[in-house]
Structures are given as C-alpha cells and as structure tokens.
Amino acid sequence: MADAEEPEKKRRRIEDLTEKMAVDSGHRDGGCDWDGRWNHVKKFLERPGPFTHPDFEPSTESLQFLLETCKILVIGAGGLGCELLKNLALSGFRLIHVVDMDTIDPSNLNRQFLFRPNDVGRPKADVAADFINSRVPGCKVVPHFKKIQDCDESFYRQFHIIVCGLDSIIARRWMNGMLISLLSYEDGVLDPSSIIPLIDGGTEGFKGNARVILPGMTACIDCTLELYPPQINFPMCTIASMPRLPEHCIEYARILQWPKEKPFGETSLDGDNPEHIQWVFERSKERAAEFNITGVTYRLTQGVVKRIIPAVASTNAVIAAACATEVFKIATSAYIPLNNYMVFNDVDGLYTYTFEAERKENCSACSQVPQDLQFPPSAKLQEVLEYLTENASLQMKSPAITTTLEGKNKTLYLQSVKSIEERTRPNLCKTLKELGLSDGQELAVADITTPQTVLFKLNFTA
C-alpha cells in the first residue's frame, strides 16, 4: 500500500502546511481569512436574539475566542471523529487536538471521508489532521496517535471542551472517569472552573445518540450505564454441543477449535487477517454441515469474529453534527445547551427523542459516595468479583481488588498480571471472613473502565 505515491503526497501536504504557516506568522488570524469567510457563524455571535442563552452577549470577540483561544479535544478520528473535525473547523474552531490509536482500514472508507485508499495503514489521527489543516486554512489540528489512557491529567486539563466519537463503552467510561477526577471541590462545593464539558456521541447502524455531560453536575456516563446493556455472548454449552445457528458454529471454530488446532502456530486469531477468517469460515462450514445448519457465509464469519457493528456515513453525519452544535453553543453561550440526551433513529422515517438523563445518587463514578457492597461474611470473594462484573450499574471488566489489612496494602485478586493472578486465585474460594475482612472494610477496586480506583464499603449482612 505504501508505495511511491505516498511520500510524494506527504511531502506536498507538509509543503502546504509550511506555506500557510509562513503566511500566518506575524498575523493573529487575518492572514488566511478572506472576505465573508465567517459570515454564517457571525450572525450567531454578533447579533442579539430572543432565544439566546441568558449569559450571551453579542460581540465580535466571540469569534476571536473561537479562532484564537478555545481549545477543543476530539476523541476518535473515525466515523464520528472525521465529521466532528470538519464540523468544528467550519464553525470557527482552530485549536483542535485529536486522539486516536488506530490505523486506517479499507472498511473505514465508506464513511471516514478524510481517508483515501492510499492512506490505508497510516494512523487515523495523523491523516485526519493533515486533511483538515490543508482543506481549512488556519485550522491547526494536532494529532495524537495513542490511546486515551496514554495521556495524563495535564494533557486533558488544557481543553475547554472535550467531544468523544468513540466506539467503545469502556473508553467512554474511562474518559468520563478522567474528567471527574479533574474536578476540584472546596469545602464540599464544586469549583465550576474545574469542569470540562464532555459531549459524547455514539452510533450503530441507523441509530445514534448525542449527549452533553457536565462532570459533577449532570448525569455522567456511569449514571446511565443501564442504557448500555452488556453484550450477550452465546452460552458455552450451546457452542460446544448444541449449535442451532450459523453464529454458534463460527464461535465454535473461534473459541474451541482455534486454540486447540493452532492453525498458524502460536499466533492468536486476528480478525483483520483474511487467512485467519478463511480458516474459521471453513471450520464453521464443516461444523454447520454436521448439524444441518445453513447460513454460514464469509461475511457472517467476519462479522461474528470481529463483533462488527454495521455503519453508514449518514448516521455519523447526523450525530456528529448534533455534537458539534453543542460544542459551539457551550463555547459561545449562543444558546442553552442540550439538556442533556438526544436519541436518533432513521430506520422508519426519522425519529429523535430528547430527554434529561438523571444523575444517579450513588453513581460509582461521579457521586463521590463509597459504593455499598452487601455480602454475608460467609460469601466467597468469587461472588464479590461476579457482582462487580455482572451488576448492570457497575459492569466492570476485570476488577482488581485491594484493601488495607493490618496497616498494609493487600491485593485480594488481580487478573491482569499472570503471576499475581496465580498467587491470588486461591483467594476467590475463600470467604470474606477467612480473608480477614471486617464489617465496614473499604475495598479499592481498579478496572479499565475507570482511571481512578473505585472505593467500596463492605456491609456485612446476616
């Protein structure tokens, strides 16, 4: 893919950028603007109106604020991210950072319009930033080819508003947790200047949602976790001995046959490797034939193995547009922002539903209240672990539980490091009493769904 064309293209883009910098340097912004450029935007910033936010004051300075000062972070440079970057750039925002850990795949090209076939394999953040900067003169998108977890507090603190176009609930929760951790309280009162508004968008096929989160003030991601029901996997006994659907046959090949037969040596199954998918496809067909099950196709195989979610340009366009409108409203106080959740579905006509999601009193992320864990002393640690993962409001992925016993920090169970997992595994079968835990004991739980540990308080029941 990366052939002679690519370095040439890259060189031209860099030249373009430097040229523009030469024009801009020494000017605040005027160098790359032209007559009438911001006319569409100015009408909302320089004119009074009957529906504006109570804090709104028409002025020519709001536009300058957008162009020169307001810093926005876009999380994700995929289906939503590309749209968000375009929307923000054409609304006057110039200081934009974008974070994305992925590289470009051919299946992105039907909607991630900042990417071309030649870009396949390159980091999304880089290519997106290049494109926007070259198409929208003056816009300075800074790319970060990394995971959100690889950026620290000081990175996130610099932004006025953060807008997410993520494809993972875990990542959303992590981002949510990060912004909550930035909040500062004085005498129990939230300092408004520590709030960074989070606009979150999500899409799936023809459905989508956009929401505005003011961490510490309005419902956060975890407050409404029940809106995202946990993904259901097929039961093992169905897969192992009682397949009925083509999907069961595919899971059999993926989960049971692959580790057993190791068709490509020690390599783990890579959904992006066509050879791997082909192997799974053929094993699945064999299995299906055994049980007279029809319907195994290559496309279905890939869909099941990669847990593919269908996607089109239109839904991403709608949701990103709604999100960007909210960024604009909040940055300029032009209008009262969405309060606080909009749902969209265009399967049958077009449908939107707007409502105020409520904060959860004991939200594990934003309520600052230690979470209650009610168990009898005879309960095994395994039960606590299951509760943390299966409870609809917690939905932890791989919680690591630690506590303080006799003044010392003790790890009760941790899954992510093999040696520690082996060492602490016996604890799962021990009762809470056997582990030396007492009523009111505080347990600190770490998990990928949150950047900060969550505090739980053990409440012994009879």
Partner 1 sequence: MASTKASKEQKYDRQLRLWGDHGQETLENAHVCLINATATGTEILKNLVLPGIGAFTIVDGHTVTGEDAGNNFFLSKDSIGKNRAQAATEHLQELNSDVSGNFVEEGPDKLLDNDSEFFHRFTIVIGVQLPESTCLRLGSVLWSASVPFLVCKTYGLIGYMRLVVQEHTVIESHPDNALEDLRLDQPYAEFQNHIKSYDLDSMEKKDHSHTPWIIIVAKYLEKWLSEHNGQPPKNYKEKEAFRQLIREGIRKNENGVPEDEENFEEAIKNVNTALNPTKIPSAVEDLFNSEQCKNITAQSPCFWVMLRAVKEFVHNEGNGSLPVRGTIPDMIADSQKFINLQNVYREKAMQDAAAVSKHVESLLQSVGKPAESIPEKDIKLFCKNASFLRVVRCRSLAEEYSVDTVNKDEITSCMDSPDSEMVFYLMLRAVDRFYQQHSRYPGVYNYQVEEDISKLKACVNSLLQEYSLNVNIKDDYIHEFCRYGAAEPHTVSAFLGGSAAQEAIKIISHQFVPFNNTFIYNAMSQTSATLRLLELNGNLPFADLFSSPNLPM
Within 166-195, the residues that bind partner 1 by CB under 8 A are none
- The one segment of 122-130, 303-311, 387-395, 452-460 that binds partner 1 by CB under 8 A: 303-311
Tokens representing 423? 């060492």
| Per-residue contact flags (x/-) with partner 1 for residues 347 to 366, judged by CB under 8 A | xxxxxxxx------------
Kindly give the pairing relationship between strand 185-186 and strand 450-460: unpaired
H helices present in 136-270, as ranges:
153-157, 169-181, 236-241, 246-251, 258-261
- The one segment of 157-165, 335-343, 423-431, 438-446 that binds partner 1 by CB under 8 A: 335-343
Min separation Cβ 117 and partner 1, Å: 7
Q: What angle do CA 208, 209, 215 make, to 5 degrees?
A: 150
Tokens representing 380? 């095994």
Min separation Cβ 113 and partner 1, Å: 6
C-alpha distances in Å from residue 431, one per residue of 84, 119, 138, 238, 376:
50, 55, 63, 32, 9
Q: Is 262 an interacting residue with respect to partner 1 (CB under 8 A)?
A: no
Cβ-Cβ contacts under 8 Å for 106 (sequence gap 6 or more): 117, 120
Q: Which of 299, 423, 425, 433 binds partner 1 (CB under 8 A)?
A: 299
Q: By the 8 A CB rule, do 83 and 91 touch?
A: no
Per CB under 8 A, contacts with partner 1 among 69-128 are 83, 86-87, 90-91, 106-107, 109-111, 113, 116-117
| Measured distance CA(173)–CA(198) in Å, rounded | 12
Q: Which of 6, 16, 24, 46 binds partner 1 (CB under 8 A)?
A: 46
Q: Which helix (H) or strand (E) holds 144?
A: strand 140-144
Q: Is 315 an interacting residue with respect to partner 1 (CB under 8 A)?
A: yes
Min separation Cβ 451 and partner 1, Å: 28
Residue 299 CB neighbour total at 10 angstroms: 11
Cβ-Cβ contacts under 8 Å for 16 (sequence gap 6 or more): 134
**Shorter beta-carbon distance to partner 1: residue 239 or 388:** 239
Strand, helix or coil at 57? coil
Q: Is 40 an interacting residue with respect to partner 1 (CB under 8 A)?
A: yes
Annotated active-site residue 237? The verdict is yes
- The one segment of 253-261, 324-332, 412-420, 432-440 that binds partner 1 by CB under 8 A: 324-332
Alpha-carbon Rg of the chain, whole angstroms? Answer: 25
DSSP assignments along 367-387, one per residue:
S-SPEEEEE-TTSBHHHHHHH
Per CB under 8 A, contacts with partner 1 among 209-238 are 209-210, 238
Q: Is 244 an interacting residue with respect to partner 1 (CB under 8 A)?
A: yes
How many residues bind to partner 1 according to rule CB under 8 A?
82
Q: Which of 4, 25, 26, 51 binds partner 1 (CB under 8 A)?
A: 51
Query: Which one of 82, 151, 237, 366 is the catalytic residue?
Result: 237
Nearest one of 295, 266, 264 to 277, comparing CA atoms? 264
Q: Is 423 an interacting residue with respect to partner 1 (CB under 8 A)?
A: no
Backbone angles phi, psi at 405, to 5 degrees: -125, 125
Q: Is 55 an interacting residue with respect to partner 1 (CB under 8 A)?
A: no
- The one segment of 175-183, 257-265, 277-285, 306-314 that binds partner 1 by CB under 8 A: 306-314
Q: Is 370 an interacting residue with respect to partner 1 (CB under 8 A)?
A: no
Q: Which of 325, 364, 402, 427 binds partner 1 (CB under 8 A)?
A: 325
Q: Which amino acid is at 369?
A: V
Dihedral sign for Cα atoms in the order 325, 328, 330, 335:
negative
Active site residues: 237
